Amino acid sequence: MVDTRDSFSLRGRKVVGGFAEGEAMVTSQTISGWGGINERNGSIIERRHELVGQSFAGKILIFPGAKGSSGWSAFFHMTRINNVAPAAMLFTRMTTKIALGAVVTRVPAMTDFDGDILTQIRTGDHVVVNANTGFIEVTRR
């Protein structure tokens, strides 16, 4: 149920277990791995993307899903190695590409929410992700 005042919770399905919390970074656009992100600093480099120039490092990345080639998982894996991976990934479209990317990135990841994460959560909101229990808590900033 959505609390329209200060905070609300959503239930989703675990893809990769774990716990994380941090600032939300929300985009309505899919993200390309190969050619779309800089794996050295965790920034979006795809020129036509609404988040171009912004870094997802340490943030709760909320997005529809992956696009592009199977290289997607390799580039997100490199963000983990370079310590610039997102703290967690919440997405709406499950594909084998994003599932593998979530596993190799080794951050909590969830999908199949009981609400629209792309419209209900705003960039800057504080999000607590407990993928083990299948709940996220959102506090407005």
Looking at the annotation, which residues are catalytic? Answer: 69
18: burial class by Cβ within 10 Å (0-12, 13-18, 19+)?
middle
β 19-26/126-130 pair status: antiparallel
Q: Where are the beta strands (DSSP E) in 45-91?
A: 60-63, 66-67, 88-91
Q: How far is residue 88's CA from residue 127's CA, in Å, rounded to a whole number?
A: 10
Q: Which two tokens stand for residue 47?
A: 């020129």
Q: Cα dist. 13→50, 92, 112 in Å?
A: 27, 11, 6
CA-based torsion, 76, 36, 28, 25: positive or negative: positive
